Structure 1
């Protein structure tokens, strides 16, 4: 049945269908940018092996989900099974963004990565720690002892303490834990006399595992790890990701994510901020 209004215009099913068709076409046009973004393959976001893959995912997946949502740039966590494998992936260009400081070693420094941010908070320091009841009181008493390091490519947990040990004239038996957590686990189990780690992880591990350590060496401060972008990533895309990371600390929607990650967010950073990191790496031939 057709309906006629006072205007004399037909308001039947065919007219209603034409209105609905126009409305649907308009919605399709409006949704095209979001559809394209959803179909865009995610960019690989590499993370240095400081913790186990499970703990890394627990910390970083919420951060990357937030950053992807805010920036409109889909990001996906990617890392190798070991530090060496992750570094090799970086060298082969498998990451679009990376959270690391190993790029400042000589062999990676020419890859062209750009520093866009860094983990916020106090500077990181190298710490050599022993069990709280250990008789060892200073570096000289480590001579000939087993000391664990995350890997021989670590910056603050290998290159920095190695320079300190060399300056003290002390040689130790190097043992590798695979990552920060692995080194602290070796120290907790007393398979080594001392462990060299990033100051940020020492306190977190001790609190979580209910164990006490004592610091016998603490280095000067260095900027925390950087977020770097591969030169192939378009500048506009890099800027969107950078702004999303820097905005986390002031966004209430990110508060629970940062609490879970035990993070204050991210701070602005430049390549020149890491000249001191390069200097230490060069002192140990890296």
Structure 2
């Protein structure tokens, strides 16, 4: 083979590769929606490196996005705004029905629990002592932070005044500042708040555990693309870099998930609750 004969197929290969890159670069970014349990700035700090890594693994931009509040997040999920979404268990049960998001991953060694917190110096030692008090919650249909905690209060026949605030962080701050006698949250966001410097708040009660948040893909995406996204997520636990990204986002190693994993939540019969909450 002459130099010229060898050069031609090499050049053709280069041109094909360049063309593929050009075509590839025109693909719309995948929008990855994160439920706004915490402030947008904090979520961006936690999740942006995670998205950058996924972009590299998929060869396509994955863009972090969230919403100003939980009801807006729900509206966007219902409208199919997000290609991929990280949503609470109740959200997944609802949005797997319509518009049909499909679960691909979840934390493998975790159960989500609702907690009720009170002030560190509060004399309250039992839920019964919350009778007649004002309690803070992140949103009306927050699965663990509101639904599970309120269910327990109602089971005990405790009457109280609910105050819905913008996020889990706001719940803890309301309790810390004495604006509410107690509040509902989850262990992950409470531990994160403590690591960030929250003081003066303690856990009074914990619920039983349920299947945690879902990573789910919009049904418009083909099976092969969904499986590629699933592999990129579940492979994070196989390297030090991936584990560091999971830790930064306050996640444990992810495992493949299927729709039936959330049957424990479906068994609670929560379909009467409005779509206005988060975990």
Calculate the TM-score normalised by the size of structure 1. Answer: 0.86
Distance 1:284 1:213, change over 3 A: farther
Q: Structure 2: which 5+ runs fail to align?
A: 275-279
1:153-179 CA deviation, whole Å, 9 max, x = no partner? 210101111110110001211112211
Q: Counterparts of 2:56 and 2:43 in 1: how far apart (Å)?
A: 20
Distance in 2, Cα, partners of 1:252 & 1:54: 25
CA RMSD of aligned residues (A): 2.4
Q: Residues of 1 paired with 2:78 and 2:158: CA distance?
A: 33
- Match among 172, 184, 189 for residue 177 of structure 2: 189
Matched, 1:206 2:194: yes
Contact 2:188 2:250 in 1 (8 A): no
Among residues 54, 72, 97, which one is paired with 1:85 in the alignment?
Answer: 72
Q: Select 1:46's aligned residue among 29, 33, 54.
A: 33
Task: Indicate if the aligned counterparts of 1:126 and 1:197 stay in contact, CA closer than 8 A.
Answer: yes
Give the Å deviation of 1:118: 1.1
- In the other structure, the counterpart of 2:225 is 237
Larger CA Rg, structure 1 vs 2:
1
Look up the SS of the partner of 1:264 in the other structure: coil
Deviation at 1:141, TM superposition (A): 0.8
**Are residue 220 (structure 1) and residue 208 (structure 2) matched?**
yes
| Pairing 1:134–2:122 present | yes
Q: Whose relative contact order is higher, 1 or 2, with alpha carbons under 8 Å and at least 6 apart? A: 2
Q: Which residue, 3, 15, 22 being the options, matches 1:28? A: 15
Which structure 1 residue ranges, 5 or more long, are not aligned?
1-8
SS in 1 for 2:140: coil
Q: Quick one: distance in 2 between partners of 1:280 and 1:52?
A: 29
Cα 1:275/1:208, change in 2 over 3 Å:
same
TM-score by length of 2: 0.88
Task: Measure the CA separation in 1 of the matches of 2:116 and 2:109.
Answer: 21
2:78–2:98: 8 Å Cα contact kept in structure 1? Answer: no
CA distance in 1, matches of 2:271, 2:127: 19
For the Cα contact (< 8 Å) 2:106–2:214, is it kept in 1?
A: yes
Alpha-carbon distance change, 155 to 145 in structure 1, aligned in 2, over 3 angstroms: same
2:146 match: 158
Cα offset for 1:36? 2.6
Which residue number corresponds to residue 4 of structure 1? none
1:228-266 deviation per Cα after TM superposition (whole angstroms, max 9, x unaligned): 111111111111110000000112332332332232232
Equivalent of 1:68 in 38, 55, 69 = 55
From the superposition, tell whether residues 272 and 75 of structure 1 become closer, same or farther in structure 2 (CA, over 3 Å).
same
Is the CA contact 1:118–1:268 (under 8 Å) kept in the aligned structure 2? yes
- Paired position in structure 1 for 2:277: none
